[in-house]
Structure 1
Amino acid sequence: MSQLLWQPTPEQIAASNMTAFIQYVNRKYQLFIQDYNQLYQWSIDRPADFWAAMWEFGGVIFSQPYSQVVVDLDKMPGARWFLDARLNFAQNLLRYRDEQTALIFQGEGRPAEKISYAALYDLVSRTARALKALGVKQGDRVVGFMPNLIQTVVAMLAATSLGAIWSSCSPDFGIKGVLDRFGQIAPKVLFTADGYFYGGKVFDSLERVRGLLPELPSIEKVVVVPYAQPEPDLCALPGAVLWEDFLAPYPAGEMEFVQLPFDHPLYIMYSSGTTGIPKCIVHGAGGTLIQHLKELLLHTDLKRSDTIFYYTTCGWMMWNWLVSSLAVGATVVLYDGSPFHPHPGALFEMAAKQGITVFGTSAKYLAAVEKEGVRPGKQYDLSALRAVLSTGSPLSMESFYYVYREIKQDLQLASISGGTDIISCFALGNPTGPVYAGQLQCRGLGMKVEAFDEQGRSVLGQKGELVCTMPFPSMPLGFWNDPEGKKYRAAYFDYYPNIWRHGDYVEITPQNGLIIYGRSDATLNPGGVRIGTAEIYRQVETLPEVLDSIVVGQDWQGDVRVILFVKLAPGVELTEELQNKIRRTIRENTTPRHVPAKILTVPDIPYTINGKKVELAVRNVIHGQPVLNQDALANPGALAYFAHRAELES
């Protein structure tokens, strides 16, 4: 039984958006729902009623109402939502035009910049007019190769106000990584900064843009935002224009938001691309909007009075999720740079200074600040903070305890999980429910999430494949350049026909929470027993001697053996004694089958740019197989440490 770490007070429950929604639903449908579990059950039993209620409660702005909530609910893929509705995504995010702060930008080593909702609307209106003058229209692709700046948000909103499709790449991608993504979608306009800062260093972006342009002939205009330098030299980029010059001819004014169907394309997102060319996942405007409203209003309890932050690049779906907070009218904090510069507590220092109420980050970050000895609750004034969100990978049990011990006792810790594939979450926080150590609080409303055993049966309290057995509005419209939907079906629906298979290895707990044991394609299989990699990480990374680790299965003598690679703290050596300590810690807290056959040291662990460990890439390397797309990695050089290891020959 997991330990109870936090419970909301009756006052917190009563004041929550979730409670207001339950009351709204009870009035609307003459129901007697009393708590989250009953609401969740109703949301999956009566999905059309639930999503209709969410449309109204979320205040979706539209020019034409829907005629039907959903048709073909028995088809996955194939269900269609909110037929005949016409709306514009950007209009929904720009519904407020007052003097409240909309965005706060904090760049590494820079003073914070702020913009109000009124000024944001005006800046977007000017940018939209400039894009329209270029001939940008419905269905065109507009892309960002940008740091997490205010201008990035403005460019996205301007493009989507016209019905163009937005796509972005983090500026730390190499040329090949950018071409693997943008090269597939033929963008018309590219927004870039001249450079960016990370870890106290300046990185040039224009040199890479110069290398990209010959390979992207569809681009008609490059707009450069000065960031690293006040007046960047554009001589090497023919036809490029500085941001201010691009906007100069266009005064602010009332915006004309192009009204579009619910399922009009909004964003193109990319799979991590560690196993080949990234998949271009197309997300619809209406599905993204209503799902984000649900997750922000209900599961995050976001209100206008909140200040929300998520540490993310513009290439990760958490950026898109964060920016949707504008539709709620909250203040959104954008950060760009290293989370450890100039010191490991930098983000918590910013949280104190900006009065952040909802602090979003990754499991990797929380583990890292604990290793660094950061004690945020004692070092900074976090009195405003009421929720910490974590995603990217499973949050270890130790990190749950760390948050309540060293950050704050009275806050909601919401480990959330979903992905780029659905631009949202399958499992989330519940501000009206308890937090148990090691568990994600609940399955998302309207998301019929189950765990399937190897016979394809739904199981509770047992490990299984995470599946979703009913359609939901934020499913992708499909993949770009996949007219018959073959790649799309192969990605999610081939394994269980008409059922979404997500690729996570999970357990639904007696408390209706979720435990994630890692990616199911990286699941270890020694002796035919399935083991989630996160089960091993949770033990190993509690040891002060180990900074990081990665575990893979090696094919060996007709079976699979578990190989653990560890990155050790400075000055620590992998002695026999330390190996025994690692094995003992794993054995005592899991099972003998979890204990690695070999423990080896490496100076670095490879991650994707979005902060996910790449077990499959390491597995390929130790088996002498190629890793097809190393540009998706933040530190591709780390793979060399796993190749040709003599220790794996015996």
Structure 2
Amino acid sequence: MVENVITDLSRSVMEEPVEPSWVPTPQQIENARIVAFARWLIDHGVASFQDVTDFHEIQDWAASHPDAFWEAVARYFEVRFHREPDAVWDGAPMPDTGWFPGGTLNFAEHLLRGPDPDRDAVVMVLEDGATTSISHGELRRRVLALASRLRALGVETGDRVVAYLPNSIEGVIAFMATAWIGATWSQAGLDLTARAAADRLSQLEPKVLICGGGYFFKGVVHDQRHEVRLLRELLPTVRHTITVSTAGLSLPVDGDFSMTWDEAVDGVGNVDVVPVAFDHPLWVLFTSGTTGKPKGIVHGHGGALLEQFASPGFHLDLRSDDIFFWYTSPNWMMWNAQVCGLLHGATIVLYDGNPIEPSAARLWQIAADLGVTVFGTSPGYLRASEQAGCEPGRDLDLSQMRMIGVTGSILPSAANRWIRDHVSESVQVGSTSGGTDIVGIFVSSNPILPVYDGEISGPALGVALEVWGDDGRPVPPGVSGEMVITQPMPSMPIGFWNDPDGSTYRDTYFAEFPGVWRHGDSITLTDRGTIIIHGRSDATLNRNGIRLGSAEIYEAVESLPEVLDSLVVGVEGADGGYWMPLFVVVTGDRDAVDEAEIDRRVRDRLREHTSPRHVPDEVIVAPILPHTKTGKKLEVPVKRLLAGQRTGEVISAAAVDDPAALDWIVNFASERAASAGQDDVEPTDDYRTWRVYSEQRISRILSAALDTFAEKGFHGTSIRQLAERCGLSVPGLYHHYKSKEDILFDLMMVVVDELIERSRFAVAEAGDDVAGQFDLLVESLLRFHMYRQKGAMLSANELRNLSADHRARYVARKEELNRMLDVVISDGVAAGLFQTPYPIDASRAITSLCLGVASWYHSDGELPEDVFLARYLAVARSIVQPEPDRRA
């Protein structure tokens, strides 16, 4: 059994002595804030330690006494409670733990406690080289002015204010002003399309939208003003819009846009800070959307505050004299963490642009110019710097830099070595891992522990981390398993948006091990207390019963000079087989690449640096590979695509950094499926003959439910009948579904998913022809309802049989179809093709028309299909087109 979970790398960790690559000096240890905190704990009678410089001793106490630790963090960093809490916590187990009940505070108030009003609070650098800054004093003035303006616009405590902005000073001010009055903040980067931004922000039903005009990237100013107008249409609850001039582009104040940014922050604000409960919603961050519609994760004022005092305060040793620069974007939780440098009085540096424009040395140059002391980046940027031959340590003055923080993906050993050889031997490389889930860290380096290449120094202070096997028991050091958190943390989410009963939140983190947070990372805890992260658990390679970490493969393969990027997945076959392909992107002209030589080089490298088990079944040279917007590898979505799932069920193009890369993977999966004699993974364009419920796309349980619900109705069908129909026992069926209603809900989602996917396919076929998009989208709607039989009928007739929660989720999904029509009609109005003062109302009218008229269509009736379609397509056109332009 042990052999099944021990990787070869883990064995080498246990058997071979490893020397640290960086060791703190006695002076660095003595001056570290962690040590000062340990002394404070002793002086205040909170804890006692034999050695205040022993991180493991301090951490053991903090993880074992979470209530005492987090209370001490609040006191040490002088958190201001407007009303003192009744207790530290209520002692309830996760996920129901309540922290600091009865206490009130405000997150933004602490951000504005800058030590020197004349010191720079934020420095903004644009890709074109322009640099601006704002002092702590001016930051406070603008925050209070905007807070007063928001209150005057009717924003109350608990309302939502959202932004569609690039990385900018205005975004920082807007967030702080929103939090100051107790409203809830969320934002989408201006590089997202309006539709992708609406997928996130529309869920919040915001009252105010703050939006920019454009952003810099790759030497080009991207004009997003059309996208802004479209997003405004897609956010019907927005009452006021504030426009910001970004990248030199601005929007006029008109019927849709209430005021300019300068007008919004003019004057002096007079609104008092609003004290809110510890768990009052501060911001909503969204998942990447790589496995479905982005989910909103909600964090509270108090939890986020304590986490952002502890994690950068102790692990980055961040202080008021630091210049803190972490390359990030508004789509990533590191934007929030970067802003929180203000909690420590540090000057934070923002950058809007391509990190390798005009060269890969761009971020290093900014760090040198501004005297950055703590620099945050990703393994991808370090890799790009290496491949470009950058010599930051030789060519630039980086003498002020004491730490390079790295997160976003697994940091390979080679990156540490490159930093030592080409940046600095004395700078600490601080590898860290946490997530959007807590807007913080679970494991990290710290200033008083040594750094080992390819490893993370240990759990973050106060994190009760363990490594468990599938049986829910801790595994010994050197054995890989699930990373779990056994004690609650105040920064854990207060919930997911639109998840009133908390079921989605519980299923996400606590379904596997009740009462214990399962993060979804496969890790190894070494005998010296360091952490090796192997990758996401659901992407773990399981070859012949032996679990392999993808990180070891990436480190070995991407150390080859000819390999730019790589992606490995393990795909289970229907026949019980297992296929492990490795995709690689190579330097130079792909058409001129000797793929046989690349295959040999990759296999040899893996045998040499890992083990024969890590050698893939196939090495595939790809032109480009998709990533999330924040640069993470898409192992799980690619695995599912190769297993035959449809694109819409797996990932949205809006969630990836390059849609063309996703297209290549989809085409590869389709060709592979076709060569194996499987159905195409994409919908066919033959509307008359399409089959929603193919064996590839629907389980035998749903297939049986499709027939029995159609024959007997939902109430007339018993669980036993369903079980018999699909060849399972009743207990076997209950193993897959908790109730008959859950089966109905899944079946209805299959129906509406097919409608949405077919409609997207139709719109894509029309290209940039908006009128053609409209015609094909309406025709798709009509045809779907014309042919709705069996399960398709359920979408209309059985909605009343769903619970309120299921009904809301189904309706929310179906709303995506309405938004597609919203977009097409809004595009047509903007282009002058359509004429309607109310595009959204017109969209709803046409959707209702398609449902209504198609419901009585019969293929054997008197009205032929083509006549039927032409007649009602003309009616739909008449709703949006002016009289002279109507087509017959």
Task: Check whether TM > 0.5.
Answer: yes
Distance 1:272 1:237, change over 3 A: farther
Deviation at 1:521, TM superposition (A): 0.8
Partners of 1:84 and 1:411 lie apart in 2 by 44
Return the offset for 1:623: 2.8
* Secondary structure in structure 2 of the residue aligned to 1:389: strand
Answer yes or no: is the 8 Å Cα contact 1:86–1:262 preserved in 2: yes
The one of 592, 596, 611 aligned to 2:612: 592
For the Cα contact (< 8 Å) 2:318–2:346, is it kept in 1? Answer: yes
Contact 2:337 2:439 in 1 (8 A): yes
The alpha carbon displacement at 1:636 in A equals: 2.0
Q: Which residue of 2 aligns with 1:407?
A: 423
Report whether the alignment pairs 1:569 with 2:583. no
Moved more, 361-370 or 258-267: 361-370
Deviation at 1:446, TM superposition (A): 1.2
Aligned to 2:135: 116
Give the secondary-structure state (helix, strand or coil) at the position aligned to 2:88.
strand
> Which of 43, 54, 57 in structure 2 is aligned with 1:38?
57
Displacement of 1:577 after TM fit?
2.5
Q: 1:644 deviation in Å?
A: 4.5
Task: Specify which of 238, 248, 251 is matched with residue 219 of structure 1.
Answer: 238
Give the 3-state SS of the residue equivalent to 2:203 in structure 1.
coil
- AA of the residue aligned to 1:604: I
Closer, same or farther: CA 340–175 of 1 in aligned 2, 3 Å? same
Letter in 2 for 1:527: N
Q: Once the 2 structures are TM-superposed, how far is the Cα of residue 255 of structure 1 from its aligned partner? A: 5.1
| Structure 2: distance between partners of 1:279 and 1:33 | 45
Residues 540 and 586, structure 1, Cα contact 8 Å, conserved in 2: yes
Which protein is richer in helix relative to its size? 2
Q: How do residues 432-447 of structure 1 correspond to structure 2 at under 5 angstroms?
A: 432-447=448-463
Contact kept in structure 2, 1:210 and 1:237, CA below 8 Å: no
Q: Which residue of 2 aligns with 1:347?
A: 363
Cα deviation, 1:267-296, whole Å, max 9, x if unaligned, reads 101111111111111100100000110011
Q: CA deviation at 1:109?
A: 1.0
> What's 2:632 paired with?
612
- The answer to whether 1:56 aligns with 2:72 is no
Q: Superposed, which structure 2 residues align to 1:441-460 within 5 Å?
A: 441-459=457-475, 460=477
> 2: distance between equivalents of 1:3 and 1:647?
46
Map of 1:639 onto structure 2: 662
How far the C-alpha of 1:400 sits from its partner, in A, is: 1.4
Please show how residues 171-570 of structure 1 align to structure 2 within 5 Å: 171-229=190-248, 232-234=250-252, 238-248=256-266, 251-253=267-269, 256-459=272-475, 460-556=477-573, 557-570=575-588
Q: Report the alpha carbon displacement of residue 298 of structure 1 after superposing the two structures with TM.
A: 0.7
Matched, 1:15 2:31: yes
Structure 1 distance, partners of 2:587, 2:431, is 27
Matches of 2:439 and 2:594 in 1, distance apart? 41
In 2 relative to 1, CA 45–623 (structure 1 residues): closer, same or farther, beyond 3 Å?
closer
SS in 1 for 2:541: coil
Distance apart, 1:647 and its partner CA: 6.6
8 Å CA contact retained: 1:527, 1:559: no
Q: Does 2:159 correspond to 1:134?
A: no
Name the CA distance, whole Å, in 2 between partners of 1:132 and 1:643: 48
Change (3 A) 1:599 1:239: same
CA apart distance, 1:481: 1.0
Paired amino acid for 1:217: P
Contact 1:65 1:85 in 2 (8 A): yes
- Which sections of structure 2, spanning at least 5 residues, go unmatched? 1-16, 677-888
**Contact 1:622–1:644 (8 Å) recurs in 2:** no
Taking only the aligned residue pairs, the percentage that are identical comes to 39
Superposition misfits of 4+ residues, deviation over 4 angstroms? 646-650
Counterpart CA distance in 1 for 2:384 and 2:322 is 27
| Aligned equivalents of 2:485, 2:577: Cα separation in 1 | 31
Tell me the equivalent position of 1:583.
Answer: 603
User: CA distance change for structure 1 residues 174 and 69 in 2, over 3 Å: closer, same or farther?
Assistant: same
C-alpha separation in 1, matches of 2:375 and 2:214: 26
Greater displacement, 262-271 / 174-183: 174-183
Q: Report how many aligned residue pairs link the two structures.
A: 646
Q: Which residue identity does 1:398 align to in structure 2?
A: A
Aligned partners of 1:228 and 1:25: how far apart in 2? 49
* Per-residue deviation, 1:206: 1.8
AA of the residue aligned to 2:653:
Q
2:555 is paired with a residue whose SS is helix
State the shift of 1:363 in Å.
Answer: 1.4
Query: C-alpha displacement at 1:174, in angstroms?
Result: 1.5
Shift of 1:358: 0.3
TM-aligned CA deviation for residue 67 of structure 1: 2.1
Distance 1:329 1:400, change over 3 A: same
CA shift for structure 1 position 33: 4.4
Match of 2:186?
A: 167
The structure with the greater share of residues assigned to strand is 1
What is the alpha-carbon distance in structure 2 between the residues aligned to residue 630 and residue 501 of structure 1?
A: 28
Going from structure 1 to structure 2, the CA distance change for 1:289 and 1:352 (only over 3 Å counts) comes to same
Q: Once the two structures are superposed, what CA deviation does each residue of 1:116-147 show, in whole Å capped at 9, x if it has no partner? A: 11111011111111111101111011111111
CA distance in 1, matches of 2:494, 2:629: 25
The one-letter code sitting in structure 1 at the alignment partner of 2:552 is: E
The 3-state SS of whatever aligns with 2:314 is helix
For 2:318 and 2:311, how far apart are their aligned partners in 1? 9
CA–CA distance in structure 2, aligned partners of residues 357 and 301 of structure 1: 11
Shift of 1:247: 2.9
Q: Distance in 1 between matches of 2:643 and 2:49?
A: 58
Deviation at 1:371, TM superposition (A): 1.4
Q: For each residue in 1:464-518, what CA deviation from the matched residue of structure 2 results, as whole angstroms up to 9, or x when unmatched?
A: 1111111100010001111110111011110111111111111111221111111
Contact kept? 1:274, 1:632, Cα under 8 Å: yes
AA in 1 matched with 2:621: T
Residue 274 of structure 1 contacts residue 627 of structure 1 at CA under 8 Å; is this kept in 2?
no
Q: Equivalent residue of 1:585, what SS? A: helix
> How much has 1:582 moved relative to structure 2?
0.7
**What's the offset of the Cα at 1:49?**
1.2
Cα distance change of structure 1 residues 195 and 33 upon mapping to structure 2, 3 Å threshold: farther
Q: Which moved more, 1:380-389 or 1:79-88?
A: 79-88
**Aligned mates of 2:90, 2:251 — CA distance in 1:** 54
Letter in 2 for 1:620: R
Q: Deviations 1:421-456 (Å, cap 9, x if unpaired)? A: 111110112101100011111201111111111222
AA partner of residue 206 (structure 1): R
Q: 1:603 aligns with which of 613, 618, 623?
A: 623
Take 2:543 and 2:357, find their aligned partners in 1: how far apart are those partners? 41
Distance 1:566 1:575 in 2: 10
Distance in 2, Cα, partners of 1:390 & 1:602: 27
Contact 1:567 1:603 in 2 (8 A): yes
Q: Which moved more, 1:281-290 or 1:167-176?
A: 167-176
Q: How far apart in 1 are the matches of 2:459 and 2:576?
A: 38
Aligned to 2:647: 627
Once residues 375 and 237 of structure 1 are traced to their aligned partners in structure 2, the CA distance between those partners, rounded to angstroms, is: 53
2:753 corresponds in structure 1 to none
One-letter amino acid of the counterpart of residue 110, structure 1: G
Task: Name the amino acid aligned to 2:595.
Answer: T
**TM superposition shift of 1:79:** 0.6
